[in-house]
Structure 1
Amino acid sequence: MELLKNANQRPWWQDWSDVTARHLQTFVSFEATARRICTYEPRHLPTLLQTGEYARALSGARMPEATPSEVERLVEFHQKRVQRFEGSAEKKLICVIDELTLVRPYGDSGVMRRQIDRLIALADNPQFVMRIAELSRPNLPVMLGSTTLFEFDDKLLPEIVYAEHFDDASILQEAGQVHKWIKHFDRLRQVSLSREQSVHHLCKLREMLE
C-alpha cells in the first residue's frame, strides 16, 4: 500500500528537480511505487544496474553542456534511486540487456570492467532477473525500443508502459497496447540467453577488458 502511505508526502525526487527533466521525474515516480519492473533499453544499461562511475560517464555523454556539479548531482540522484530500490526487498527488476550496451563503453575500460562486475554480482540477487540479447543471434525481436513496464501492488494503478524518446516520453495505459508490449517483451526474454548463459557471457566480456 505504498501509494496510499506516500500520498501526502513530498516526493523525495523533487530534491533533484533542478537537474532532472519532468518526464524523468514521472518515470521515477512509477519506479518508486511499482512492485515489478520489466525493461528493455537498447542504448545503455538500465539505471538500476549502473555503477556510479558508469552513470557519471553516461550523464556527461548525454548532457555535454552540463557543469561538473550538475553531473555530480545526477550521479547522486542515480545512487539514491539504486539505494531505494535495493532497500525494498519486495521489488523486482526484470530486464533484457542488449549486448550492444555492454560493448559500447561509457568511461574507460576500468569503468566497464567494474560495471560488468556489478552485473555478475547482481545475478545472485533475487531482486534482479537479467537476460542478455546477443548481438550475434539473428532475428531477435528488439523492436521494442527504450521501454519499461510498471506493475503496481494491489492493482491500485493499471499496468503502465513508459516509452522513452530523445528528450521526452510517452505513456501507454490502454489494456490492448500494454498486453501487446508484454507479449513482445516475453518473446524477447525467451530467446535471450538464460541466467547461467548470461553470467558466462558477462565473464567472457570482462576477460576482454583485462
Structure 2
Amino acid sequence: MPSDTSTLLMTRVTFGRALRRLRSEVHHLTLVEVATSLGCDDSLISRIENGKRACSQEHFAALMDLYEVPSPERDELARLHAAARDRRQPWWSPYSDVISAQYERFIGFEAAASVVHEYQVGILPGLLQTEAYMQAVTGVGFASLGPDQIETLVEVRGLRQRHRLLETETPLDCRYVISQAALDFQVGGKRAHQEQLRYLLEISTHASVDLRVIPYEKGEEAAQIGAFMILQFADEDVPDVAFGESVAGSLTIDGPRNLRRLHRLFRGLTESAYSREESRDVIARTLSKEE
C-alpha cells in the first residue's frame, strides 16, 4: 500500500504496474488480448497500466478474474484500487485550466518524489528561482499566453517551492548541477539578477539543497548535454522517472536503459563540478562583479 505522503498519481502508477506485471510477466498476455477479453479498447488498458486513468470497478473485477488473482493478493489490490479512485483533489487542481496535462503529471511525480537529480545548462532549477526570475523565464517560455496565465504559472511554481522545499517537514532532497553560464545570464535585468544570486547563496545552505557549479574550464562536460531531471521515490517498488528538455517541450523518460544512462551522466557531471563550498564561492564572486 502507498504511504500517507503518496499522491493520487503515484497510487495509480503503483496500481498500474501491479496490473502490468500480472498481465505481462505472470500470464504473458498482450494488451490486445486483455482488451478483447474485457470488450474495451487496448488504449484504455494501456492508460490504466501507466497510471494515466482510473480503473472502473467493473474492469477491476474482470481483470482479477482474468488474471486468476488469489484472495490475499486480490484484497491488497482492491485496497490499492480504492485508493487510486480517491476523489480528493491535489493542491494544483485549481490550476488545471492553465497547466498542461504533461505539467500536471510532472507535478504529481514531483509531489511524491523523495530525491531529485537535476542538471541545467542556461537557467536555474525551478525550485531555486526567485519570483522575478520566474516571471522572466515564464514570460519567454510561454510567450503565447496572456499576462494572467503567465502570472498563474508563476504562482504554481512558487507553490511547488513551498510544498516541496520551503514549508514542509519532508523536503525534497535536491541535488543540482548547473553550468557556470547559468549564473552569468542576466534573467529579468540587473536587479533581478543580483536578487537571484543572493537568494542562491541563501538557499544553497538549506539542508536539502546540494547545488554544484560546473566551471567554464570544464565546458566540454557541460555544453554537450541538454537539461534533464531524474525523480526517485522512497517506495522501492516505484521506479525512477526522468524528464528531458527539447524544442518540443518536456519528454518523459522511464525506460530502464535510458534511466541508467542519465544516472551515469549525472554522476559524471557532479564529478566535473565544484564542491558545494566551492560552488558557493563562485556564486559569491559572480554576485560581487554585479554589485
TM-score, normalised to structure 2, is 0.68
The equivalent of 1:137 in structure 2 is: 218
Aligned to 1:161: 242
Instruction: Say whether 1:206 aligns with 2:209.
Output: no
Shift of 1:54: 0.5
1:165–1:21: structure 2 CA closer, same or farther, 3 Å change rule?
farther
Q: What does 1:1-210 align with in structure 2 at a 5 Å threshold?
A: 1=3, 2-3=5-6, 7=84, 8=86, 9-86=88-165, 87-90=167-170, 91-210=172-291
Q: Is the 8 A contact 2:242 2:252 kept in 1?
A: yes
The CA deviation at 1:4 is 6.1
Contact 2:227 2:244 in 1 (8 A): yes
Distance 1:21 1:4 in 2: 18
**1:70 positional shift:** 1.6
User: How far did 1:141 drift?
Assistant: 4.9
- Measure how far apart 1:14 and its partner are: 2.3
Deviates more, 1:109-118 or 1:3-12: 3-12
- The CA deviation string for residues 41-87 of structure 1, in whole angstroms up to 9 with x for no partner, is 22311100101110011111212232222221111111100000122
Distance 2:92 2:224 in 1: 31
Higher relative contact order (CA 8 A, sep 6+): 1
> Aligned Cα RMSD in Å?
1.8
The change in CA–CA distance for 1:67 and 1:122 in structure 2 (over 3 A counts) is: same
Per mean C-alpha deviation after superposition, the further-off stretch among 114-123 and 5-14 is 5-14
**Structure 1 residues 96-151: Cα deviation after superposition (integer angstroms, max 9, x where no partner):** 01222221221111101111111101121111000001223343155441211010
Structure 1 residues 176-185 or 166-175, which shifts more?
166-175
Q: Which runs of 5+ in 1 are unaligned?
A: none
Matched residue, 2:79: none
Q: Which is richer in helix?
A: 2
Q: Which amino acid aligns with 2:233?
A: F
Distance in 2 (alpha carbons) for counterparts of 1:102 and 1:4: 34
Unaligned runs of 5+ in 2: 12-83
After the TM superposition, which segments of 4 or more aligned residues of structure 1 sit over 3 Å from their partners?
4-7, 141-144
Q: Which has the larger radius of gyration?
A: 2
Pairs aligned (count): 210
Structure richer in strand, relative to its length: 1
Instruction: State which drifts further: 85-94 or 69-78.
Output: 85-94
Distance (Å, rounded) in 2 between the aligned partners of 1:37 and 1:17: 24
Distance in 2 separating the partners of 1:77 and 1:147: 20
More displaced, 168-177 or 36-45?
168-177
CA shift, 1:153, in A, is 1.3
In structure 1, how many angstroms separate the alpha carbons of the residues matched to 2:222 and 2:189?
30
Q: Which is further off, 27-36 or 154-163?
A: 154-163
